[in-house]
Structure 1
């Protein structure tokens, strides 16, 4: 009898347990509510959550106030755990894991957990018991989080000797300080300062008028050591004009290697968007050139601090120190760069001068004349090389058994498939007819080289050019065009290729590398940015600038081994190039002091005019220096480029 009562009791308890479990199972768990809260906090939008007090719109307003001082920085929030109350199945506590990228370098740096309490309300809906501490445990009503950013020192771009080429230099910010002058005098002062600084007077006066009454309206930033245009004496005569000492990242002069080094200034809206949060309004950043390409390395890692602020004061709850940037080492020689830019200063058309050290491949100068209008002619220009390409053609001929003394036919005119080819109008009549290769090279006989087209197929010409470095890409640390020589060309196209016309394109850099290869006796690989610890090269995958469609018949070969260029071939090419100086078109270089100069001039036709316009080229090798000079709107290489080359080599004489 007792046993039956016990069994009955057990069955009754079991039934009750099943009933409770059944009822509990019908109620939703807090998981979905916890996930919605975490997602809403990540987006700073809690519209998908329910609250025990207040509407989602009201809570969102409070959340925005708490986060207002954090700018655009938002946390990634996940659910770390849920603990249900064992005594009350309508209550739960949610642990929320926060991960903030406070310094905006794409990696979380501030992590912590907070707790949010949930309760099950009407219709079994889980509701959040909102409080500021849900965002951060220490927050209370009236508090807010505030982020402040900091930056380390921007690193310098260095020259080949490790000395600063571009770094922080003292400047003066010059403008009108409106509190210092009555309103009715501000327009006159703004006009006077604009005229002094070379600005549009009406535009600057309008800018001053539109600014607030306490504004300092900057007109010009001038190097502290500059002589003008705004002198202290002139500034003193303008009421309200003010000069504020500051610093800017600058090169030695306004024009020094500007297209290469680039500039630093306030981040544009486009750069801010592209930075993925790394940049914000007001940040200084690289705007062009190496300063933009290597901005992250030069800028270093940003720092930031988060403070909890209220009416009683502020307390730092998290901070991360800024890190200074890392210098960028280049191979530039500042003395030679300055010399080259001075030589090109009066050339009205696009122009460039590139110097390379054959023994190392170091690029010593990347100079662009004012006619290039800020474009990177020296590294990215794509032009037919004209007769300077006869260096490659001669190499191809040497490989076919031709020697400097071999006889070539140099008629005054030559017809290929109906197209007439001539020599330059200044070509000496004494060298028409059968002449040795050395004379054809020194005098630059177009018809003689075209007459060898059956001896040198197009692929052999392309191979010879490649062994000199033309069309061979190199990881030199900056975008560049290394040249393009089609492997297939027939008829007039092949004939034109023999003299550096047709579809052959080079940059001044490419020709300087070819000359350096002749000087060294093996193919030279150029280098401009020296690899080092931490050196970063954004965009390195696109270092080789593409050729236009007309040159796409042969893509530039990938960087490869040094090729098959031999010491004997180099010796013969040096002999031919020396002849251009001693008895050919580069005679003006014969008196340059120092080691003997080797050279080749070139003139390349372009355009559709009659007569056609011409590019002027000269390449030269002197000791451990190889140079290419280019003038976009020249006459002959000897007359337009020769004097520029002479001035550069004269100026470089005696330098180590």
Structure 2
């Protein structure tokens, strides 16, 4: 006779002090088989067989070994029902399993466990077998968890162009299974020299790692790898492993801005609260780091079984959630042009940067740093005196004071303010000294003319004009940007220096490109690199008017037609520009200070800023870079 004892779901939550006691004694409710099933469910919910009586005691150790890889996975086991077959002295307990493999992903199933009645009819034992743990498990199987790696999101540019995506690389290193003894150090030493990595450090790692280790030395793009392959292949134990990494089209392409991906550091692992483990590939810098969670996605988990023949099969899978693409406004063609233009400075060039913005909508089209920046994003975050490029701001302040572009100003070779002498740049044209118009003063970049009109400006006028052109007001654009500063001057000489972009005035190439874009657009442009990042623009105290912008465009055009930017006259399109040179640092033996070289320009719906950390002048050093970009 079969006797079904009904549903018992939930009873496994009631743990029994001594798990086998009720089963052995028959229990107070006269249901020894049911009590045993309850005890079994409670033990299984704790990843063990507890102390439940077993038909074969060796099953207890075998179960512990089998379930060990799942020890960190929470599981709840409930008794669904117990069917007793009295004439056969056995019962079938149906168990419901729920493994919380991942957040929102539970592995659920039922198994049937055989219970056997003792000869006295009052004691019961579990006849445990592997498939009682999970369907289709067999003797000799082992269990495991496999991490499912999500596909990392791409970084895209204008019109959906893919900028950063998985690209082929080669991981170069030493395969220690192919060498032993003193040959390990000899091969490691040769590999380090060929790949230009620290020899002592690499040899030390090679000797310390296990006999079956692959000791990685460097990861190279496929194109870069070809240069070292011939010599590398001759080294005993040398191994190049094919792989992929999220990379931009070239090593230089917006590298500081986009950032890089690599193995998580110990600090990143510690700060992730378990979301990242050692060996995970994560964003380490730039946008890759800032938006790592979005780009990385979430790993999945698979419960797998391996049989005696080493064949692997998946029992359950919580799929990975792929990363989401990060959209930017970068124009691949213009970014390439920017990198190439900076490269014209040559090997050993000082730090340099170029930023290009589309004035009509503020889209950041290019943001490049030269090799001299050593990986820093000076284009966005550099803080430098902008020199005479700031005279665009000063012009706006003077226009607002009532000055006209045709008003005559005095441009002496030098002027003194509170005991400090100010002069024009070394190759300032002698023909432009004396009484000239404001337009000529801006076109030729006369320092003394602007300083001589400092008295026309009141407190805060210069800062208000800067704000109207997008300089000096911080915005969270979704990545680090320095928008510059125009603080109140503390001295009369400081106020004079501020007028010509020195003193305490500071700006980044990004900020000066914003100034040029604002002149072109006729309003304070809010730059946009990440279209999906919402930014609330802080309105200027005194917004730029259309008439003011038109006048500034005329002044910048005069720089090209008659002034310090005449070398741009044969470049296609109507170009407006402003050169800039700013002293900094410590004087040399002759008392001369090094100078930053700047140039900003507009052409159609394009605004550009070029910065070179050390140069002769804006026109001579930054100018050729700008010209190369515009051509």
TM-score (norm 1): 0.74
Q: Does 2:194 correspond to 1:196?
A: yes
Instruction: Report the secondary structure of 2:206's partner residue.
Output: helix
Instruction: Name which of structure 1's ranges 207-216 and 293-302 shifts more when overlaid on structure 2.
Output: 207-216
Whole-angstrom CA distance in 2 between matches of 1:207 and 1:395: 61
* Structure 1 residue 475 displacement after superposition: 4.2
Whole-angstrom CA distance in 2 between matches of 1:303 and 1:422: 67
Whole-angstrom CA distance in 2 between matches of 1:70 and 1:587: 74
Q: Tell me the equivalent position of 2:21.
A: none
> Residue 561 and residue 431 in structure 1: after superposition, are their counterparts in 2 closer, same or farther (change >3 A)?
closer
> Residue 51 and residue 402 in structure 1: after superposition, are their counterparts in 2 closer, same or farther (change >3 A)?
farther
Q: Tell me the equivalent position of 2:622.
A: 641
> Residue 636 and residue 198 in structure 1: after superposition, are their counterparts in 2 closer, same or farther (change >3 A)?
same
Cα pair 1:391 1:573 within 8 Å, conserved: yes
Cα pair 2:357 2:365 within 8 Å, conserved: yes
Instruction: Name which of structure 1's ranges 153-162 and 172-181 shifts more when overlaid on structure 2.
Output: 172-181
Aligned residues between the structures: 549
Q: Tell me the equivalent position of 2:507.
A: 506
Whole-angstrom CA distance in 2 between matches of 1:237 and 1:643: 45
Q: Tell me the equivalent position of 1:329.
A: 327
Instruction: Report the secondary structure of 2:454's partner residue.
Output: coil
> Residue 473 and residue 558 in structure 1: after superposition, are their counterparts in 2 closer, same or farther (change >3 A)?
farther
Cα pair 2:526 2:537 within 8 Å, conserved: no
Q: Does 2:585 correspond to 1:607?
A: yes
Q: Does 2:251 correspond to 1:250?
A: no
* Structure 1 residue 278 displacement after superposition: 1.2
Q: Tell me the equivalent position of 2:558.
A: 579
Cα pair 1:262 1:290 within 8 Å, conserved: yes
Cα-to-partner distance string for 1:526-572 (whole Å, 9 max, x where unaligned):
111221xxxxx7xx9xx9xxxxxxxxxxxxx9633796211211111
Superposed, which structure 2 residues align to 1:81-230 within 5 Å?
100=100, 102-103=101-102, 109-110=105-106, 146-181=144-179, 183-226=181-224, 228-230=226-228
Q: Tell me the equivalent position of 1:391.
A: 392
Among residues 293, 296, 300, which one is paired with 1:296 in the alignment?
293
Instruction: Report the secondary structure of 1:226's partner residue.
Output: helix
* Structure 1 residue 641 displacement after superposition: 1.1
Cα-to-partner distance string for 1:272-316 (whole Å, 9 max, x where unaligned):
112221111111111111111111111122211346899999997
* Structure 1 residue 216 displacement after superposition: 2.5
Instruction: Report the secondary structure of 1:222's partner residue.
Output: strand
Superposed, which structure 2 residues align to 1:504-583 within 5 Å?
504-531=505-532, 559-560=538-539, 564-583=543-562
Cα pair 1:384 1:501 within 8 Å, conserved: yes
> Residue 434 and residue 282 in structure 1: after superposition, are their counterparts in 2 closer, same or farther (change >3 A)?
same
* Structure 1 residue 635 displacement after superposition: 2.1
Superposed, which structure 2 residues align to 1:52-67 within 5 Å?
none
Cα pair 1:146 1:308 within 8 Å, conserved: yes
Instruction: Report the secondary structure of 2:366's partner residue.
Output: strand
TM-score (norm 2): 0.76
Cα-to-partner distance string for 1:500-520 (whole Å, 9 max, x where unaligned):
112111100000011011112
Whole-angstrom CA distance in 2 between matches of 1:246 and 1:642: 42
Instruction: Report the secondary structure of 1:359's partner residue.
Output: coil
Among residues 589, 592, 596, which one is paired with 2:568 in the alignment?
589
Cα pair 2:414 2:422 within 8 Å, conserved: yes
* Structure 1 residue 237 displacement after superposition: 2.7
Q: Tell me the equivalent position of 1:427.
A: 428
* Structure 1 residue 644 displacement after superposition: 1.4
> Residue 196 and residue 440 in structure 1: after superposition, are their counterparts in 2 closer, same or farther (change >3 A)?
same
> Residue 324 and residue 561 in structure 1: after superposition, are their counterparts in 2 closer, same or farther (change >3 A)?
farther
> Residue 406 and residue 64 in structure 1: after superposition, are their counterparts in 2 closer, same or farther (change >3 A)?
farther
Whole-angstrom CA distance in 2 between matches of 1:211 and 1:490: 63
Q: Tell me the equivalent position of 1:342.
A: 340
Cα pair 1:603 1:615 within 8 Å, conserved: yes
Cα pair 2:170 2:225 within 8 Å, conserved: no
> Residue 51 and residue 237 in structure 1: after superposition, are their counterparts in 2 closer, same or farther (change >3 A)?
closer
Q: Does 2:268 correspond to 1:278?
A: no
Cα-to-partner distance string for 1:378-408 (whole Å, 9 max, x where unaligned):
0000111111111011111111221110111
Whole-angstrom CA distance in 2 between matches of 1:364 and 1:648: 13
Whole-angstrom CA distance in 1 between matches of 2:577 and 2:228: 46
Instruction: Report the secondary structure of 1:225's partner residue.
Output: helix
Instruction: Report the secondary structure of 1:285's partner residue.
Output: strand
Instruction: Report the secondary structure of 1:522's partner residue.
Output: coil
Instruction: Report the secondary structure of 2:289's partner residue.
Output: helix
Cα pair 2:262 2:284 within 8 Å, conserved: yes
Q: Tell me the equivalent position of 1:263.
A: 260
* Structure 1 residue 171 displacement after superposition: 1.7
Unpaired runs of 5+ residues, structure 1, are 1-29, 34-40, 54-60, 78-96, 115-131, 532-536, 544-556, 651-656
Cα pair 1:522 1:562 within 8 Å, conserved: no
Cα-to-partner distance string for 1:12-69 (whole Å, 9 max, x where unaligned):
xxxxxxxxxxxxxxxxxx99x9xxxxxxx9xx99xxxx9999xxxxxxx999989863
